Amino acid sequence: MKNMNLIKYIIGAFSMLVVFSSCEKSGYIDSGTYPNNYDGTILQYLDSRPELFDSLRKVVKLADMDAVLNNDNITFFAPPDVTIEKSVRLLNQVLFIQGRDTVIDLAQVNPIVWREYLSMYVFEERRSLKDYPQLDTLKMESFPGQGFIAVGGQNMNIGVLYNDVVSKNNEGVEQRVKYAGYRQLYLSSFDFGIIHTPIATSDIRTRNGNLHVLNIKKHWFGFSSISFANRAFSLM
């Protein structure tokens, strides 16, 4: 019964957070574009962009995953700080409702939680956008992308969405050429239902692996912020 009540609190908090977040313009700045080659490791790249990855870098240290991200031949889908802040904000809503102290330092979250969720974004072998098959989120029976196991053992899916080219003729009638537009990499989780996340910037090649930066508008750290909040709360 206690767990059921917690879930209700979380769902209620989530609803309030969605309304609150929709008013915040600062949370909707996209990740931008970066040079495709970086003369350093993945960790060094994160350190070079503190305006985007300061919190992420702290999470990596708390999760004791520096060595993992320093391994050769890996692929890392980097969640920017805003995605972490959104999930922690929901956790704080739950803690507040429960009359508990809220999180003001990422170290207050059990490192087990950080490691469990951060490991969803790391994969063995270096891969670029061109190395993944086509994905159509509306027709996955035809274009399913490809299943991968993250370093934490989670079942993930990675694929490339081929956008349509849309234009209008002289009469103003819309014309659409299917799958002829720009291509965008997606990382998807199946652990909480299917949650698709587009990649804002792909194919940053570092010395020890490839880095892809997640879209901050359409992602919450851990894919399911409710799952993250529930797990973190249970270990506090």
Angstrom distance (rounded) from CA 90 to CA 120: 20
- Give the pair of three-digit tokens for residue 146: 């490809």
Q: What is the pLDDT of residues 107-145, one digit of tens each?
A: 999 999 999 999 999 999 999 999 999 999 999 999 999
Characterize the bridge pairing of strands 155-162 and 134-135.
Answer: parallel
Q: Which range of residues forms the domain containing residue 204?
A: 2-234
**Nearest Cα to Cα of residue 76 among 88, 90, 59, 91:** 59
**Torsional class of 18: left (φ above 0), alpha (ψ -120 to 50), beta (otherwise):** alpha
Radius of gyration (C-alpha) of the chain in whole angstroms: 19
Angle at 160 between CA 159 and CA 162, to 5 degrees: 145
Residue 19 pLDDT > 50: no
CATH of the domain at 184: 2.30.180.10
Out of 28-37, 106-115, 173-182, the most confident range is 106-115
pTM, entire model: 0.84
Residue 183 pLDDT > 80: yes
How many domains, the chain?
1
Cα atoms in the Cβ-side hemisphere of radius 13 Å centred on 21: 23
> Do the beta carbons of residue 220 and residue 187 sit within 8 Å?
no
Q: Return the percentage of the chain with pLDDT > 90, whole number.
A: 77
Residue 208 pLDDT > 90: yes
Which pLDDT score is estimated for 172? 80
Q: How confident is the model at residue 35 (pLDDT cuts 50, 70, 90)?
A: low
Residue 56 pLDDT > 60: yes
Average pLDDT score over the chain: 87
Q: Return the percentage of the chain with pLDDT > 70, whole number.
A: 85
